[in-house]
Copies of this chain bind each other. A is one copy, B any other.
């Protein structure tokens, strides 16, 4: 019998799938338990001195540091900005925690810092506090970045994942799987000659335009670690509904589909860094899609499924050939350190 003291952290604990959920449920959340944390949303909402704030944190351990379409600096800004935007909040300020490995080229650090500054300008946020630590060669991995973000809640907007209701439609703002496959294509031993480019981008302006057109959006969620599958699992579980996806409606670039097929990966479980899932009433679908498609980051927005009552807490996929299969929460082994 295994001694519980011998249990150790596995790579799959970080994949955003079932093992991550178990780790959080059994080890991370219980000691910290409080009503705000229990919401388990992309950002926490608090009231300080009458101001409604959204607060979030994310660490970035992506490998390699530079990839087609971005780098760890750009993703550290966009990921945190997007977590605030998904809350319906207006992102305002970021903090920046750098853990640098001894031996990192200063020229690489400079590229990353420029990239952080550029992405922050694009998103209209300021880095207002920071911290820099150095660890010995071999004790780190080039650069790890933590960004925490603070935004101001828009009054009357509530995009919590528990708000999905039967009859709602599920939209996505563009193609899926681009980020994960672009990063993977750069990994050692997998030097595909592709034109795959990460979608990493700040989504706050797109969300702002959407919420102006449809303030009653029910749910916003960015399908990062664990992909669309993990994000919609969170929705189905929190709202106790069934999310039904149409395989033929999923926007996947041919190249992403090809590489996924080659590696036995499901594009639904691959991370995105510049896409949002939007769940709204069916009556709002046309207005929402029109608003999204008019924005440079939403040109490929489309409907990919709908919300039903049963079976509750499940994600189903109507397949190309007319069947229906359960979309399982990925275990978490597929794509380590993709964001």
Contacts and interface: CB of A to CB of B under 8 A. Distances in A.
A24 interface: yes
7 contacts: A9-B104, A13-B134, A14-B134, A28-B98, A51-B53, A60-B133, A63-B139
B9 A106 contact: yes
Interface stretch (A110-118, A274-282, A303-311, A313-321): A110-118
B27 A110 contact: yes
Closest 9 pairs between A and B when the two form their complex, measured CB to CB: A14-B134, A49-B51, A57-B95, A148-B148, A51-B51, A146-B146, A31-B117, A44-B128, A139-B141
A60 B152 CA distance: 28
A116 B51 contact: no
Interface of A is mostly: mixed
Interface in A65-111: 92-93, 95-107, 109-110
Contacts of A55: 93, 95, 128-129, 150
A146 B57 contact: yes
B336 A136 contact: yes
Given A10-B134, A14-B132, A57-B95, 11 more contacts: A9-B103, A9-B104, A9-B106, A13-B134, A14-B134, A27-B113, A28-B132, A34-B128, A46-B92, A58-B97, A60-B133
Nearest to A80: B131
B59 A107 contact: no
Nearest to A54: B129
A5 to B, nearest CB: 5
Given A9-B106, A55-B95, A32 B129 contact: no
Contacts of A100: 9, 13-14
B127 A34 contact: yes
A138 interface: yes
Interface of A: 4-15, 20, 23-24, 27-28, 31-32, 34, 36-37, 43-44, 46, 48-53, 55-61, 63, 92-93, 95-107, 109-110, 113-114, 116-117, 120, 126-136, 138-141, 144, 146, 148, 150, 152, 336-337
Contact of A9 (B20, B44, B134): B134
A63 to B, nearest CB: 8
- How many monomers of this protein are in the complex? 2
A34 B129 CA distance: 10
A99 B59 contact: yes
A96 to B, nearest CB: 7
Given A28-B113, A57-B96, A5 B146 contact: no
Given A14-B100, A97-B59, A107 B4 contact: yes
Contacts of A126: 34, 36-37
B50 A50 contact: yes
Nearest to A115: B31
A96 B131 CA distance: 15
Contacts of A101: 9
